[in-house]
Amino acid sequence: MLLVIDCGNTDVVFGIFKDSKLFHCWRVKTFTTINKKDFLSQLLEQLGNINISPNQIKYVIFASVVNEASACFSFLESSFSIPFASISDPSIKLPIDIDVPDPSQVGEDRIVNAVAGSTLANSDVIIVDFGTATTFDIVKIVYGRPIYSGGIIAPGVNLSLQALSKVASKLPNININKYPDRVPIIGKNTQDAMWSGIIWGYVGLIEGIINKIKSEADSNFEIIATGGLAGLYLPYSELINRQEKDLTLLGLHEIAENNGFI
């Protein structure tokens, strides 16, 4: 079995692959990495809940965009007799080329998403990740080889809502997890108007950026959405071709396979 870990700014997502299939996944809040021993206990408890012992796991591969979590992952590695690998390790072979001046500035999760997205699409692809930030990552296929060409980082939906509520005290709180069946463009009250901004404002952002990328790159990209809020926007955007909620986990599995870990 392979354990993959994606440590993002908000959540740490775990995935267990069994016979190259995603067997089980779960998430915990990233701030829990502060207490290394508790984090380890939670991991062992979760493995026990699905009847997996640590010695059944042959390899661990992880990606992290949180520097403060590095001590926690070092502690995990020292607590298990299992090989650990970070995709930031120079010895890791990536099945993708990074065409930017300083590849170290590209978030590890974005590289992993690019690996998975290019494989799923088997064509030029834009990955839109609705996470803490809303990111766009562009991959082109050149002579059969995927090339990461760069991307865009915009404020995430939740961050925008939090900023709005801080400076506009009279606006109601919006629970992003309880959304209307359909959101009209013109709101008839404050809450509906805010929902219109959440949906149609971001659809305008998403589709405007995608169309600009297509025009400048002169390519008809496939568009893959991922991240916690991807499903919210899928019904409203005509440009998104598919959603893959486990994209980062699939990318980590592919990198592990490319390096002979499984």
The enclosing H or E element of 150 equals strand 145-155
Cβ atoms within 10 Å, residue 32:
15
CA distance 141 to 147: 6
- Kindly give the residue spans of alpha helices, DSSP state H, lying in 62-196: 70-79, 108-121, 157-167, 190-196
CA distance 73 to 82: 12
User: Beta partners for 62?
Assistant: 5, 86
| Residue in 11, 19, 89, 109 annotated catalytic | 109
- 109 part of the active site: yes
- Tokens 């899928």 correspond to 234
CA distance 157 to 127: 17
DSSP assignment letter at 90:
T
Q: Are strands 133-142 and 125-130 parallel, antiparallel or unpaired?
A: antiparallel
> C-alpha distances in angstroms, 135 versus 128, 229, 241?
6, 12, 16
Active site residues: 109
